[in-house]
Amino acid sequence: MLALLLLAGIYLWQRTAFPLWMIDLLPIQLASHQWAVGDVEWMYAPVDRFDEWYARCDSIAADLGGEGFGNPYFYPPFVAAALAPVSNVRALIWRNVLFAINVALIFVNAYVIQRVCRVVWNLRGYLWAVALVLICYPMSRTTKLGQIVPLLAALTWFGFLWMRERQWWRSGILLGFVSAVKLFPVGLIAFPLLAKRFKVAAIWLGTIIVIYGVSLLLLGLRVHELFWKAVTQFGTFVYPYQGNQALIGWWVRLFRDKALIDIVPFTDPGVEIAKATIIVVVAGTTLFWMWWYRRAMNDASFPAFVGLLIAGILLSLSTSWEHYWLWALPVLGWAIHEEWTRGESRFRLLWILAASFLCLMKLTRFYVDNPLGRLITGSHTTGMIMLWMWLLWRIRKFAATPERNSASPSLLQTSE
C-alpha cells in the first residue's frame, strides 16, 4: 500500500509540476530589478495605469529571459531590496534555484509532519509522510508556479514547533519574520495570546515592528505607501478565479456569475455582506472555541488548536489561493495519524480521509462553466471546512477527556 501510494504520488507530482513556470517568481525578480535601478514607482502595479505598468514590466521580463509574466508584486519592499544584488541574474536560474528548494521542502514537510505527530522517527512512518506530501496538489502546483509559499509554510511550522518546545525567542523571531514577509500569518498570533504566552507574542510582534522600522528607515516612506496600497486592495477585493479557495471566492463563483478564469478583483455590497457573515461565523466561532476550551491547550492538543486557527483564517480571507493550503498540511497528517492509530470511529476516519482527499487532490478537470462545475471549484474549500469541523470536535474531545492528556505539559499553565 505504501509503495503504491509513493508511486502514485511521484506520478501525480511530476504531472502537475512540469513544465515549470515562473509566473509567481518573476514579479519578485522584476521588483528587485526596479529597486536596483531606482524605478520605485513601478514596483507595485497601479490600478489606474495597469496597462502601462504591464508593458513596462513585460519588457524588463523579456530582457531577463522571463516567461509568462502577468502577476503583480505583493511582497514587502524589503524582500525586493534584499534580492536586488542578484536581480540581473537570468530568470531561468532564479526558477531553477527555487525549484531545487521546493523539491527539498517535500522531505522537510514530511519531517515536520512527523514532528507534529510526536512520533519517534522511523523510515516507514517518514515514507508515509513523504507520500502525503507528494499527492498534495497545492505542493506540486506551487512548485510549477514558482512560489515561495512552501518555504514560508515550513518556516511557520518550525516556529510553532519551537513554541511547543518552549524556545520562545527562536519561535517568536521566526514567526515574526514570516508574518512580515507574508502578512496573513500574523493572525496566528492569536494562539500564544489565548495560551497566555505573552512573551512569545511580544517577541513575534516586536520582530515585525523592528523589520518594518528598519525597512522604513533604509528604503523610505514612498515605496511602503505603494506596498500598503497594493496589499489593501488585494485584501479588500475578491478574486473570482478558480484558484481562490476562500469561502467568499467560492460564493462569488456560485452566485455572481463570474468567469472561472476571471482574475479581475471584484466586490459589491452583496459581496461585502457575505464576507462579513463568513468572518463572524467562521473566524468568530474559531476564536470563541479556542478561548472557551483554552484550558485544554497542551502538547497533545497543540496541533488541533493551531490547525483550527489556520483553517479559520484561510476560510475567512478574501483571497486564499489553493497553495495556501500548505499551511494546513501538517495538521492533515496529524489528523490522519490520530484517527488511524486510535481506531475509535470508522466514520471519523472516513471523514478525515475525505477531507484530506478534497484538500489535496487536483479536480480542476471538472471545473467547467455550469452549476455543477462551479460547485466543484470549491473542492479544496470543502475539504478545509471538513477539517475545520473535525478540529472543533477534536478540541472539545480533548477538553472532555483531560485524563488522557495529563502527561502533556499545559501550554497555558506552565510558568514562563
pLDDT attached to residue 416: 42
Work out the percent of the chain whose per-residue pLDDT is above 90: 86
Please, what is the Cα angle at 350 between 346 and 355, to 5 degrees?
150
Instruction: Work out the mean pLDDT of the chain and round it to a whole number.
Output: 93
How much of the chain exceeds pLDDT 70, in percent? 96
Contact by Cβ (8 Å): 296, 290: no
Going by pLDDT thresholds of 50, 70 and 90, the confidence category of residue 409 is low
Q: How would you write the chain as a 3-class SS string?
A: CHHHHHHHHHHHHHHHHCCCCCCCCHHHHHHHHHHHCCCHHHCCCCHHHHHHHHHHHHHHHHHCCCCCCCCCCCCCHHHHHHHHHHCCCCHHHHHHHHHHHHHHHHHHHHHHHHHHHCCCCCHHHHHHHHHHHHCCHHHHHHHHHCCCHHHHHHHHHHHHHHHHCCCHHHHHHHHHHHHHHCCHHHHHHHHHHHCCCHHHHHHHHHHHHHHHHHHHHHHCHHHHHHHHHHHHHHHHCECCCCCECCHHHHHHHHHCCCCCCCCCCECCHHHHHHHHHHHHHHHHHHHHHHHHCHHHCECCCHHHHHHHHHHHHHHHCCCCEHHHHHHHHHHHHHHHHHHHHHCCCHHHHHHHHHHHHHHHCCCHHHCCCCHHHHHHCCHHHHHHHHHHHHHHHHHHHHHHCHHHHCCCCECCCCCC
266 against 11, higher pLDDT: 11
Each residue of 134-146: pLDDT tens digit?
999 999 999 999 9
Give the pLDDT confidence of 112-130 residue by residue, as tens digits. 999 999 999 899 999 999 9
> What does the pLDDT average to over 245-262?
92
Per residue in 166-223, pLDDT (tens digit) is: 999 999 999 999 999 999 999 999 999 999 999 999 999 999 999 999 999 999 999 9
Measured distance CA(244)–CA(32) in Å, rounded: 26
Confidence (pLDDT) at 414: 47
pTM, two decimals, is 0.94
pLDDT digits (tens, 9 = 90+) for 273-287: 999 999 999 999 999
Q: Which set of grid coordinates corresponds to residue 163?
A: 513554541
Q: Tens digit of pLDDT for each residue in 47-100?
A: 788 889 988 899 999 999 998 877 899 999 999 999 999 999 999 999 999 999
What per-residue confidence (pLDDT) applies to 258?
Answer: 85
What is the pLDDT at residue 44? 94
Dihedral (Cα; 168, 174, 177, 179), 10-degree rounding: -80
